[in-house]
Amino acid sequence: MLQFAGFELDEKRSELRGRDGEAIKLRPKAFDLLRLFVAKPGRVLSKQELMVAIWPGLHVGEDNLFQCIREIRAALGDERRELIRAIPGRGYLFEPKVSGLTDPAPQEVIPLKDGSQAESEQAADNSNTKIWRRAALIAMVAAGVLALAISPVIRPHMFAASPPSVAILPMTTTSNDPAVGQMAIGVISDLTDGLAKIDTIRVVVSPGTDIKKADLVVNSELERTETTWSLRARMIEPSTGTVKWSASLSVEQSNTDAQLQRIRLAAAMGDPLTKRINALLTSGNRPVDEGRTGTANAAIEQATNSINQTSLERFRTAETILEKAVADDADNIDLQIAVAAFKLRGLQLAWFPAEERQLVVNGVGAIMKRVLHERPSYIPVLEAQCRYLSTANRYAESLVTCAKALALDPWNGSALYLTGLSQIYLGRFDDALATFKQADRFDTPRVARWTWGIGAGWACMLMGRADEALPWLERSIEVTPASGRTYLLMAAAYQQLGRIAEAKAAVAKALEVRPGSTAQNARPLSSNTSSVYDKAQERVMSLIVSAGLPEN
- Please give the average pLDDT of every successive group of 10 residues along the chain, which has 552 residues: 88 83 83 90 88 72 80 87 85 89 54 39 37 42 40 44 84 91 95 93 76 89 93 93 93 88 96 95 62 59 58 72 77 84 79 80 89 91 92 92 96 95 96 96 88 96 97 91 88 97 96 88 81 96 96 84
Task: Specify the DSSP class assigned to residue 89.
Answer: T
Predicted confidence at residue 162, as pLDDT, reads 64
**First vs last C-alpha separation in the chain:** 80
Do residues 501 and 367 make contact, with C-beta atoms less than 8 angstroms apart?
no
Instruction: Kindly report the CATH number that applies to the domain delimited by 2-110.
Output: 1.10.10.10
**Predicted pLDDT of residue 448:** 84
Closest CA to 375 of 285, 308, 440: 285
SS3 at position 213: helix
Residue 166: the pLDDT is 94
* β-bridge partners, 233: 220, 247
Residue 2, H or E segment: strand 2-4
Task: For the chain, give every domain's residue range.
Answer: 2-110, 121-151, 165-282, 295-376
Question: What would the 3-class secondary structure string for 59-73 be?
Answer: CCCHHHHHHHHHHHH
Kindly report the CATH class assigned to 165-282. alpha beta
Report yes or no on whether pTM surpasses 0.75: no
Q: Of how many residues is the chain composed?
A: 552
Closest CA to 46 of 157, 124, 133, 126: 157
